[in-house]
Amino acid sequence: MKRRLAREKAFQALFQLDSSDITAEEAIHHVLNEQKADEFLMQLVEGVLEHKSEIDFWIEQHLENWTFARLARVEKTLLRIAAYEIKFNEEIPSQVAINEAVELAKIFGEDQSGKFVNGVLSKMVM
């Protein structure tokens, strides 16, 4: 599985976990549709869940005129994935994590989601 697809599947799994009462394994199984689980996908989901409090706090410190609670679930989930990659995955360049999050925001979010995600993540890497 290519990393872009793994990020998309991780986004879908984490989005489900944020809105329903299922386990990470169930969410991953649901988004894979009979595909084999990917190591990078598993790392993203497990890493975000393991460091969620720290990631959420870090994101909140870089929001301007927003509170973390007001974020839409799409943007919140994408910011969590990218923040995890930036802070905890040294093999992924920060700019790659940002670009991937922006592209997914354009697909799954509202019209301004890509710009919003880019702005927050850019502040986080400064």
Contact 48, 84 (CB under 8 A): yes
Q: Where are the alpha helices (DSSP H) in 73-126?
A: 73-88, 94-108, 113-124
Full-model pTM: 0.94
Q: Any idea what the CATH number is for the domain that residue 119 is in?
A: 1.10.940.10
* Domains in the chain, number: 1
Say if CB 15 and CB 74 are below 8 A apart.
yes
For residue 90, the enclosing domain spans 3-124
d(CA 39, CA 17): 19
Q: Is residue 91 helix, strand or coil?
A: coil
pLDDT single digits (tens) 9-33: 999 999 999 988 899 999 999 999 8
Residues in the chain where the model's pLDDT stays below 70: none
